Amino acid sequence: MTKLRTAAVALLSASQVTNAAYNLVKDYSGQTFFDNWSYYGSFDNLTNGDIIWVDSATGSAPANPLTYINPAGNAVIKVDNTTTVPYNEKRNSVRLTSNDKIGLGTLVTFDALHVPYGCSTWGALWTKAVGDLWPAGGEIDIFEGVNLQTVNQMALHTVSGCTQAEGITQTGTTNVRSCDGNSSSGAGCTVVDPSTNSYGAPFAAAGGGMWVTEFATTGVNIWFFSRANIPSSLSGSPSSVDVSTLGTPTGSWPASSCNPAQFFKEQELVIDITLCGDWAGVKSILEATCPALTGTNTCYTTYVLDPANYATAYFELASVKIFATDPSAVSTAANTPTSTASGGSGASGTSRPNAGSRSSVNVLLGSMVLALGGAVMGL
């Protein structure tokens, strides 16, 4: 019985990763990094954050740019950290969606030097289905964190029927196995990275790192490598990537229990930062790593109005690259904003999540992530 069980687990582990070469199709880097992204251009009506995701003209405005290429040649995507926001108005930030769409048989790398962190800050690198109402068509959360939590969280979100199987070989810790966006308060099937270098100040101090996401017929796999541990096969400017050389994934969702061909449609890449909202603004989650709110103060009144709170609320990306087993798995089309709602509304009164929303947030899951992060820090 033991031998049979061991053999079965070994077979499952071997089938988790596609041992195929992915060839470079798209490279977002250098001076042209922002050329093929669309800006949201509206207030955050998706996760109830206290920000306006600016349009391209505002985002690149010379007086106070929120997206630009720095002297090192890296792309910076940031929250406005210079403007004092009047009460009942929102702070400017950025949400970018790729004009390029990826299908099955693709691999995406995010090479980052810095990720957003700080009290009230909620940043993410993720993918969403093209044209579907969430969670139909699927979502892949590659990097996501709030406030001063200590580790990154990954997740898949789908309609009912997709789960993460038992016995998966991965380095991360599974919190929730059901990927159903309508269960577990929308948490999705979540995996927490054990590495404290995967988020916040430790990530930056380590020189950043790289996330590698495989979106294949055999399943979804996410690897995270801190800067010092990035494999030589990913360093420099590789024209192809063979995932069999990458080792054990940080998070793995094989097709045996969640068939991507069934639960996922063509995906867009998304980079965004919001403030407070449905996860970072929850009092118990915020206070788990940040000073306790006093009196009638809220996440908004305590943090959003003061620009000094957002010195670390930015992405610095060396590159985003898309690889594919077949170039036809990547397509480019004109992109339009997810919402046509006008920006500039007050600090309250935004709508609930709709198309293109990210609903991986709930108090229970956030507490579990923060508790695990604290345990890791205590090792």
- Residue 124 pLDDT level (bands cut at 50, 70, 90): very high
* Residue-range definition of the domain harbouring residue 206: 22-332
Tokens coding 22: 């992915």
Q: How confident is the model at residue 36 (pLDDT cuts 50, 70, 90)?
A: very high
Number of domains in the chain: 1
Residue range 127-178, pLDDT digits in tens:
999 987 899 999 999 999 999 999 999 999 999 999 999 999 999 999 999 9
Residue 184 confidence class, pLDDT cut points 50, 70, 90:
confident
Q: Which residues are catalytic?
A: 139, 144
Classify residue 36 by burial, with Cβ atoms within 10 Å: 0-12, 13-18, 19+. middle
CATH of the domain at 65: 2.60.120.200
Residue 362 lies in a domain: no
Q: How far apart are CA 16 and CA 294, in angstroms?
A: 48
Q: Could you tell me which residue, 212 or 184, shows the higher pLDDT?
A: 212
Tokens 């965004």 locate to: 272
Q: 373 in a domain, yes or no?
A: no
Residue 1 forms part of a structural domain: no
Task: For residue 46, give both structure tokens.
Answer: 């998706």
pLDDT at 340 over 90: no
pLDDT over 70 (residue 294): yes
- What confidence category does residue 185 fall into, taking pLDDT thresholds of 50, 70 and 90? confident
**Two structure tokens written together for 237:** 């400017």
> Which tens digit of pLDDT belongs to each residue from 39-77?
999 999 999 999 999 999 999 999 999 999 999 999 999
Question: What pLDDT is stored for residue 256 in this prediction?
Answer: 96
